């Protein structure tokens, strides 16, 4: 039996920002889940209270990765925060390594 796989994506400009309601709609979760992600340090909005929070394109990517990891591996929020930080660090180290490889070829 064949399984169907649907992949959806949103192309965003790095300077694009989102309200909590736009972010929750894009990620297909309720605003309370976004608030929990902020409380655990997964997302870092600008603003003091949820009603005025502004999220960056980076926050959108992090929230989508977090939700994917949570769905696939049932990782709790503290574990998601650690996982995302480590994944970003690996990405940064790879970029630096590639930069140095180009310099010294």
Q: What is the pTM of this model?
A: 0.81
The count of domains in the chain is 1
What's the token pair of residue 30? 């309720």
6 lies in a domain? no
Under the banding of pLDDT at 50, 70 and 90, the label for residue 3 is confident
Q: With the CA atoms of 24, 29, 35 and 40 taken in that order, what torsion angle do they form, in degrees rounded to the nearest 10?
A: -120
Query: What is the CATH number for 46?
Result: 1.10.1660.10
Give the per-residue pLDDT at 1: 63
For residue 53, being part of any structural domain is answered with yes
Q: pLDDT tens across 18-31, in order?
A: 999 999 999 999 99
pLDDT at 14: 83
Structural domain span for residue 38: 20-103
pLDDT at 78 over 90: yes
30-35 contact pairs (CB < 8 A, 24+): 34/63
Q: Is residue 1 part of a domain?
A: no
pLDDT at 26: 96
57 domain residue, yes or no: yes
- Asked whether residue 47 is domain-assigned, the answer is yes
pLDDT of residue 23: 98
In-domain check, residue 67: yes
């Amino acid at each position: 039996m064949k399984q169907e796989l649907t992949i959806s994506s949103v192309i965003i400009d790095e300077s694009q920002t989102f309200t909590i309601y736009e972010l929750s709609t894009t990620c297909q979760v309720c605003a309370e889940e976004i608030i929990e992600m902020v409380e655990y340090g997964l997302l870092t909005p600008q603003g003091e209270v949820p009603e005025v929070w502004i999220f960056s394109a980076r926050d959108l990517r992090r929230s989508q990765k977090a939700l994917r990891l949570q769905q696939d591996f049932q990782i709790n929020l503290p574990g998601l925060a650690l996982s995302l930080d480590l994944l970003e660090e690996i990405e940064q180290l790879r970029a630096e390594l590639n930069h140095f490889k180009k310099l010294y070829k």
